[in-house]
Structures are given as C-alpha cells and as structure tokens.
Structure 1
C-alpha cells in the first residue's frame, strides 16, 4: 500500500509540474520584431523651399538621405567622389521631377567643399541644411573593389603595432580633416546668410566606444564627435544647430566591404578575433533574422535632426545604434 501511495503521489506531482510548465508556456509573452520603417515612408512637403547639401550621397546612408529629402520637397545637392554613382542617383531622382543636383568633389580638399556650397547657392539661392555623411573605414578608395592583396592590406585596418602610416593618414584625411573642411565651408555660408541653419554629421559607434582592430576609424570618429560638440557651442549664437548620429551595423557598401575584409582575415588566420566579443546590437540580436539597421532608417533620424522638429537639440551625440552602446 505504501508503495502504491508513493507512486500515486509522484504521478500527481509530475502532472501538477507539467501543468504549471504548460501554463508558463501559455502565459509567456511572444517575441516580436521591432516594427521597421518602410523605405517608402516620407513626410510630404516637410522641406519644401529648403536646400540641403549632402556629402557622400552617392551610396548608402547618404543616398537614402537624398532620396527622402527630395521626396519631402527639398532642393538637394549631392557631393561625392564616386562620380558615376552620384550622377546616377541625381539623374534618377531628377527624372521623377525632384530637384537634385550632383557635384563631384572630395571633402579632403577645401576648394571642393567650398565649390559644393557655392553650387548649392547658385542653383537654389541659399543653403539651409547640411548632412555631412561622407566617411571611410579604411584607406582604400571606396570605389575600388575589395581584394585582400598586399597593396590593399597596407591600407586596411589593423591593430596599432601593425597599422601603417598610410592607412592612418588616409582615414583621418577623410573622416576628421574632411569633416572639418566641409563643416567649415557650410558654416561660413550659413553665417553669411544670417538665417540660422542645421548640420547633422555621421559619426559611428566607433565615435562612442572602441572597436577591435580599427584604430584610425575609432580615433577619427571620436574626433568627429568632438568637433560636433565644439561647433555646437561656437555657432549656437548664429542659430545654427549641429548634432551627430552614431550607428552600429547598417546595410551599406562600406559595411559589406568591411565584412569581406573580416572574412578574409579570418580565413588567413590573422589576429585573435577580439572583434567577436560583441557583434550585435540589442535590436539585431533580438530580430528573428538578426538584421542590422537599414540606411533609410538612419536617413530618417538625420532629416529629423536638421528639421525644425528638432529645434531644441544641438551638440547631441545621438546613438542610432539599436542599443549597441547601451550595454
């Protein structure tokens, strides 16, 4: 009898435990992906009568910023050193009846930056806003296909003790000096006009934290964010707001090439793989397909920051990184 009683109690316990587990599974909230912004979304006439200069507008985030700005009524000038791609974007949008011009130029050159500003004013009569998007992750010209050969390797990211001067100098020439020169050209015009304005600069999580094996990119993006903070103070009296956006992985040609580079290094057995410590933002990790952000999502925040909707925001280093820098 005692054995039967014992087995009956055990069976009842198992049944109750199973029921509790079933109930927990029923009560457990279902996971859900973040509702993603449609690439076709825009706010009609938000920038009607406003002119916007976008550097690095031939591809990636800059391209999508130009597309949405034009749809929202802006008079857009794209500046880029990728002439074929830049003209294609401008021509495609112009054929839709949108006001978009392309100016070939390299933000490393002061004369090119001033010329892009002058062309904007010549075409549209003024310069209201600027999206300083142009930037690089390595020293290889961004229009060159990736090839893990000796010529490109010396221009690619590496730890400090193995990084070359040429890699460091080329990354800083675009990211730090180029951002400085393009911002200076824009600010000079805005001050001369006397009507205020707004500038948004593309930083990176690399400007807010460290990233393994890419010292020039990290240091140059910290420089960019330092420049934004400094400029916000000096130009607030002129009614000019200046902020930066700082994204984690976004689906752009620059990121795609970086992934090719990392894969090639891993295949060659180079390094200790410290970059593997953290590879996803919060939102990418929780996404059912582990998707990073899309360039039109970044464009949305950039255009918000230059719009009057963000009139109380300046000097902000805004993380548009899906929670990367949150933990």
Structure 2
C-alpha cells in the first residue's frame, strides 16, 4: 500500500474554515504538508478551530470574490512559503428557480463559485509558473456540474461552468507539470447543506445507490489523492464522490 507523503509541500486551501474545507486542511496536514487556510473567518465552530492546534496550519483572511485581495494574498503566501498545492473549496449555496433568483442573488452565487474560482486558480497557477516546479490545483465542485438540481438555477449554472473551466486550465498548463483537477461531491453532511430539512435529506439518501449521505472526510481523501504524485498523469478530471447518485435513476 502506498502512503501519501506531502512533507515539504505547502498548500493553500480556500474555504478551509468549515465543512469539506476543514477536512481537507486536516488531511493534508496529516500527510505532512504545511497549510494556509484562506477564508472569511478563521473558523465557524470550536471543533473546526482545533485544526490550528497543528503547528503546520495557519490562517489568512480572504474573500475569494475580491480579485485584488486574492492577488495580494496569494502573492504574499507564494513569496513567504511557496505554493505547491491549491485546494479551492470556497463556495456558497443559494436556492431558487430562475424566477425566484434576483440579480443580487445571481451575482453573489457567481461571484463566489465561479469568479472566485477564476481568481484563485489564476493566482495559484501564476505562483506555480514562477516557481517552475509544477504543482497541484484541485477545486471542490459538486454533482450539480453534471446534473440539474431542481430549484438551484444559479448554483447549478456556476458549477457547470466550473467543470469546463477545470478542463480548460488543465489543458493549458499540463505541459508545465501542473495538474488541474476537481472533486465532485454528492450530498455531503456539512454546515452548508443544513438548508435541507430531514425529509429532503431522507429522500436524497433513498435516491442514492449506497443509501447514505457522504462525509467531508470522504471528499478530503479524494482531494488528497489528486494532491499527490499518484495523480501525476491526470489532467482536467473531476472525481465523482457521490454514492452513485449520478449513475441514473435509482429506486
């Protein structure tokens, strides 16, 4: 069995202060990487704050929808520590059909989920190109990039765009030793998915072949693989970690 060792690597994780992002931070640090958490808040709960007990983990505030701030923070981190790995997990989930979605909601969803992905990927790639030693860029997408999800117009649109964005950047920078890939979670139990009531959660679990919601750790494990040398020949791929939900109709 191959053990993944990221000792000597430095990673940045956006949206790392909650849910999937926190699981990614802990998993990368456990594999030996030093990690800088980039998020609006240092932590959203006492349990999540414990990740900073690891001396390899630190924090810098960042709003990924602010292009100038992203450029400034990524440049500072790259100058101080280098950027070998970037896991881009920042996101916002807001429901609404097209008629329920006003301009402000549409813009907010796009600003974080698509514009923010563009800004952070651009600066991670810029740093890796300057360093000249390749790198790993992993975005955390969602199955909504593959299938429509009733009542989530803006969100599904943003995630669909993010999916092809990953492919495009991967194609442009594969020759430079930079692997750009994504993880596409299914329904995962996180603070973000608390908008679903218990009845909806049970229905979605029943539509999933393995019959259950996933955990942040399962997504972090997939991200760890994409951050390691084991994925050296993978470019522009999106790993579906969804309990089989996207396979088709299940009853």
Decide which structure has greater strand share: 2
Root mean square deviation of aligned Cα: 2.3
User: What's the TM-score once normalised by structure 2's chain length?
Assistant: 0.90
1:322 aligns with 2:243: yes
Deviations along 1:169-210, one digit per CA (max 9) or x if unpaired, are 110010011100110111111111111111111111100111
Q: Which has the higher contact order (CA 8 A, sep 6+)?
A: 2
1:295 is aligned, of 209, 213, 216, to: 216
Distance 1:277 1:251 in 2: 12
**Alpha-carbon spacing, 1:128–1:118, altered in 2? closer, same or farther (3 Å):** same
Q: Match of 2:169, SS?
A: helix
Aligned to 1:310: 231
Deviation at 1:89?
4.7
- Larger Cα-atom Rg: 1
2:141 is aligned, of 195, 200, 203, to: 203
**Alpha-carbon spacing, 1:189–1:299, altered in 2? closer, same or farther (3 Å):** same
Aligned to 2:196: 259
Aligned to 2:53: 95
Distance 1:246 1:45 in 2: 21
Distance 1:308 1:93 in 2: 25
Number of residues paired by the alignment? 245
**Alpha-carbon spacing, 1:110–1:293, altered in 2? closer, same or farther (3 Å):** same
Where structure 1 has 5 or more consecutive residues not aligned to the other structure, the ranges are 1-42, 139-156, 267-275, 286-290
Q: Match of 1:282, SS?
A: coil
Aligned to 1:146: none
Distance 1:251 1:130 in 2: 23
User: What's the TM-score once normalised by structure 1's chain length?
Assistant: 0.70
Alignment of 1:67-86 (within 5 A): 67-85=26-44
1:136 aligns with 2:88: no
2:109 is aligned, of 171, 175, 190, to: 171
Deviations along 1:8-62, one digit per CA (max 9) or x if unpaired, are xxxxxxxxxxxxxxxxxxxxxxxxxxxxxxxxxxx87711000000000000000
Q: Match of 1:162, SS?
A: coil
**Alpha-carbon spacing, 1:192–1:319, altered in 2? closer, same or farther (3 Å):** same
Aligned to 2:207: 280
Deviation at 1:281?
1.8
Aligned to 1:160: 98
Distance 1:101 1:307 in 2: 21
